[in-house]
Amino acid sequence: MDIFLQQIVNGLVQGSIYALVALGYTMVYGILGLINFAHGDICMIGALTALTVAQVLASMGLPAPLVLALAALAAVAVCCGLGVSIERAAYRPLRRAPRLAPLITAIGVSVLLQYSAALVWGKQYLSMPELVKPSDIEMGGIHLTDLQAFIFLLACAVMAALLWFIRSTRAGRAMRATEQNPDVAGLMGVNVNHVIAVTFLVGSAVGAIAGMMVVLYYGIGHYFMGFMLGLKAFTAAVLGGIGNVAGAMVGGMLLGVVESLAAGYIGDLTGGVLGSNYRDIFAFLVLVLVLVFRPSGLLGERVADRT
Partner 1 sequence: MSYLSKADMIHPPAVRALLAFAFALMLAGCGREAPKPSDVITVRIGAASPLTGPQAHIGIDIRNGVQLAIEDANAANPEIGGKKVKFELIAEDDEANPTKATTVAQKLVDSKVAAVVGHFNSGASIPASKIYSDAGIPQISPSSTNPKYTQQGFKTAFRVVAHDDQQGPTLGKFAIEKLKARTIAVIDDSTAYGQGLADAFEATVKAGGAKVVAREHTTDKDTDFKAILTRIRGRKPELVMFGGIDPQAGPMVKQMAELGMKAKFMGGDGMQTPNFIKLAGGAAEGVMASIPGLPKDQMPGGRSFLDRYKAKFKSEVELFAPMGYDAVMVFIDAMKRAGSTDPAKFLPEVGKTRYQGVIGPIAFDSKGDLVNGPITVYVVKGGKWEALETVTPGAAPAAAADGTKK
Which residues of the shown chain bind partner 1 in the complex (CB under 8 A)?
A: 3, 6-7, 10-11, 13-14, 104, 107-108, 110-111, 118, 122-125, 127, 130, 133-134, 136, 138, 143, 145, 148, 218-220, 222, 224-225, 227-228, 259-265, 267, 275-277, 279
Nearer to partner 1, 165 or 278 (CB): 278
The minimum distance between CB 189 and partner 1, in angstroms, equals 40
Give the nearer residue to partner 1 in terms of CB position, either 71 or 162.
71
Contacts of 297 (CB under 8 A, 6+ apart): 238, 239, 240, 241, 242, 244, 247, 251, 290
- Pick between residue 99 and residue 123 the one whose CB is nearest to partner 1: 123
Residue closer to partner 1 by CB (options 221, 297) is 221
84-120 b/e (C-beta count within 10 Å ≥ 16 → b): bebbeebbeebeeeeeeebeebbeebbeebbeebeee
Nearest approach in angstroms of CB 236 to partner 1 is 15
Spatial neighbors of 52 by CB under 8 A, at least 6 apart, are: 121, 126
Measured from the CB atom, the residue of 119 and 187 that comes closer to partner 1 is 119
Find out whether 279 and 226 touch, Cβ atoms under 8 Å. no
CB of 216 to partner 1, least distance (A): 12
Supply the minimum distance, in Å, between the C-beta of residue 245 and partner 1: 25
Q: How far is the CB of 101 from partner 1 (least distance, A)?
A: 13
